[in-house]
Amino acid sequence: MTNPTILILLPSRAKEPPLPRVTPFGRAAISAHNLGVDVLFASTPDLCLSVRDNRWVESKSTPTAVYDRFPSRSKPTEWGDLRGRWGHLPWSNSPKTTDLCSDKIETQEILGGMPEVVSDYSLFHEKLDEWGSGFIKPRYGALGRGVSRVVSGDFLPKMAEGAVSGVLEPTILQREVKPPSGLGSLSLRVLVQASINGWVVEQTVARVSESSHVANVAMGAIPIPGEEVVPRQALSDAIDLAIKACETIQSSNPNDAIVELGVDILFDEQWRPWIIEVNGRPAGRVGALAKINPERFGATRDNLCLRPILYLASIHQI
């Protein structure tokens, strides 16, 4: 039996990347290598890098499986090149899963139980009159871009900027979940990861904003450990709901090895959790906590980078 080799697809961020031990994924690659799993990184189809002695070195190794962290919507041409090069390999999360999660209407149809959402623009004003308030958002949006709270009588755009900066998408209208009293805007990111022993939730992150109705770290919301904001029973209910959502999405595509999903949850006035969306390539909100308090959250962030690598290696042993 030879060591499995996991290829991680990441966007290129710098001409001269920092040393591996400076980055969470670099440290994860070092830890994985010590456990008998090789890790490659690629941003283009013609160059793979591995980590050796805290250095990035070019590698010609053949990957066993792909862990896709590449932004396919904002960089579709580059992602298509990567898919063309390594699309024959086991691919996690698969394009089918990430496309499902990107489409808020399809996610609603698969999961059910989310705040009511409408995609037929001709019904927007009627529904908003019925609800009193809601959120207008791009159908495939990300990072809170293009999302705004609206009330009866407001102008409702038919198109809005979504996942790709400068590109307009059809809008959807979703019923507002009114938050617990005195909290302003609050959402909870539950990162659910796969392991041989089942789904794992290691750390939840609450996003709190006093100045915006959209609680998103990318838009200035403050990240706070979930357990410091959300009551214990509500937090447990939210985690259970997130895991159930992952099970449902996995069941809808049983041939895909889902390694992780980021489930965004709101709470109503009775602290009942509601899923508002699922992220197929979740950003590291724990990373925001680690920047604030590296001693408390640094090891957790590193574990979150390592777990998908080890899971893929375990199910793709050669």
Q: Which tokens sit at 257?
A: 């090895």
E strands along 29-98, which residues? 38-44, 47-52, 55-58, 65-68, 91-92
User: How far, in Å, CA of 139 to CA of 254, rounded?
Assistant: 25
Low-confidence ranges of the chain (pLDDT < 70): 1-2, 14, 142-143, 183-184, 210-220, 284, 318
User: Per-domain residue ranges for the chain?
Assistant: 5-89, 93-112+177-283, 116-176
pLDDT at 3: 76
pLDDT of the residue at 218: 56
275 and 241 in contact (C-beta within 8 Å)? yes
Fold of 93-112+177-283: D-amino Acid Aminotransferase; Chain A, domain 1 (3.30.470)
Query: What per-residue confidence (pLDDT) applies to 14?
Result: 65
What does the pLDDT read at residue 74?
84
Peptide bond into 279 cis (omega under 30): no
* DSSP symbols for 208-232: EESS-SS--GGGTPEEEEGGGTS-H
Give the Cα separation of 59 and 223 in Å (integer): 37
pLDDT of residue 185: 80
- Burial class of 147 by CB neighbour count within 10 A (0 to 12, 13 to 18, 19+): buried
pLDDT the model gives residue 224: 92
Q: What is the pLDDT of residue 284?
A: 66
Task: State residue 107's pLDDT score.
Answer: 92
| Phi, psi angle pair for 97, to nearest 5° | -70, -45
Largest Cα separation within the chain, whole Å, is 66
- Is-contact 81 12, C-beta < 8 A? no
Question: What global pTM score does this model have?
Answer: 0.93
